[in-house]
């Protein structure tokens, strides 16, 4: 598959380079207009030239479709992580891993909110983490703890040998008191709406 992909890209690049070179020559007036008209007339007048032109067009379309298919398949591969089991191949979507990390973060008491983005590369797996932490913590200790937990859990879940890099970006530090006040206000608002009863508009 890699050989086919390489050959396809080579021919596609070669065709584009030749086409671009022709356009530059025409723009610089290095190809006489009469010669272009003569070539076009020859294509229209001779059956062999028309067949060659048609085949070249079909080949160009086929190569273009193959390039598009290769690009799409590469994007699909980048959205999943694959590994081999004795009974066949297993693929895991990156979204499933991100959801797993989000659920796992609820077990870390120092974390208020966590969002992750998983990137699969040839060298391994990269996990970019955006996190909101409570302010009453040691940032170096908690970030090391988060990195260790995510790395070990993901490694155990996937069972892969490739390295897993966890990069953390702290969006915000918030106090637990702020969270309690917010929950208390929300609860009071819900109770107020619950016991307010029916309101009649005054006319």
Report the Cα–Cα distance between both ends of the chain, in Å, rounded: 77
Question: Do residues 99 and 184 share a domain?
Answer: yes
Is 101 domain-assigned? yes
Question: Do residues 94 and 125 share a domain?
Answer: yes
Total domains in the chain come to 2
Question: Do residues 46 and 132 share a domain?
Answer: no
Is 198 domain-assigned? no
- Burial of residue 9 (number of CB atoms within 10 Å: 0-12, 13-18, 19+): middle
pLDDT at 181: 55
CB atoms within 10 A of CB 55: 10
Question: Do residues 68 and 93 share a domain?
Answer: no
CATH number, domain with residue 119: 3.30.300.30
Question: Do residues 138 and 64 share a domain?
Answer: no
Beta carbons of 107 and 153 less than 8 angstroms apart: no
Question: Do residues 139 and 175 share a domain?
Answer: yes
Question: Do residues 98 and 176 share a domain?
Answer: yes
Is 60 domain-assigned? yes
pLDDT at 199: 52
Question: Do residues 175 and 98 share a domain?
Answer: yes
Is 29 domain-assigned? yes
Question: Do residues 7 and 69 share a domain?
Answer: yes
Is 200 domain-assigned? no
Is 115 domain-assigned? yes
CA 169 – CA 141 distance, rounded (Å): 14
Beta carbons of 172 and 132 less than 8 angstroms apart: yes
Tell me the per-residue pLDDT of 34-56, one tens digit each, with 9 for 90 and over: 888 888 888 788 888 888 888 88
Question: Do residues 158 and 70 share a domain?
Answer: no
Is 203 domain-assigned? no
Domain ranges, residue 142: 89-192
pLDDT at 134: 87
Tell me the per-residue pLDDT of 58-79, one tens digit each, with 9 for 90 and over: 888 887 888 787 777 665 556 7
Dihedral (CA of 46, 51, 54, 60) sign: negative
pLDDT by residue for the chain (203 residues), tens digit each? 567 667 777 877 888 888 888 888 888 888 888 888 888 888 788 888 888 888 888 888 887 888 787 777 665 556 778 777 888 888 888 889 999 999 988 888 888 899 999 988 878 889 999 999 988 788 899 999 999 999 999 888 888 788 899 999 999 888 766 555 555 656 666 666 555 554 555 54
Question: Do residues 173 and 128 share a domain?
Answer: yes
């Amino acid at each position: 598959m890699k050989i086919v992909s390489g050959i396809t890209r080579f021919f596609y690049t070669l065709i584009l380079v030749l086409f671009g070179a022709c356009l530059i020559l025409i723009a610089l007036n290095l190809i006489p207009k009469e010669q272009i008209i003569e070539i076009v007339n020859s294509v229209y007048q001779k059956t062999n030239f028309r067949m060659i032109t048609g085949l070249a067009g079909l080949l160009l379309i086929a190569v273009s479709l193959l390039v598009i298919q290769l690009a799409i398949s590469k994007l699909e591969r980048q959205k999943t992580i694959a590994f081999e089991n004795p009974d066949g191949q297993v693929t895991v979507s990156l979204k499933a891993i991100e959801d797993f990390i989000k659920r796992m973060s609820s077990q870390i008491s120092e974390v208020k909110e966590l969002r992750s983005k998983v990137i699969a590369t040839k060298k391994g797996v990269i996990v970019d983490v955006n996190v909101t932490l409570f302010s009453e913590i040691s940032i170096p200790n908690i970030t090391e703890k988060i990195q260790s937990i995510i790395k070990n859990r993901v490694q155990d879940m996937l069972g892969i040998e490739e390295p897993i890099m966890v990069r953390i970006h702290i969006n915000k530090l918030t106090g637990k008191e702020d969270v309690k006040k917010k929950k208390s206000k929300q609860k009071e608002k819900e109770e107020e709406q619950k016991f307010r009863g029916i309101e009649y508009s005054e006319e």
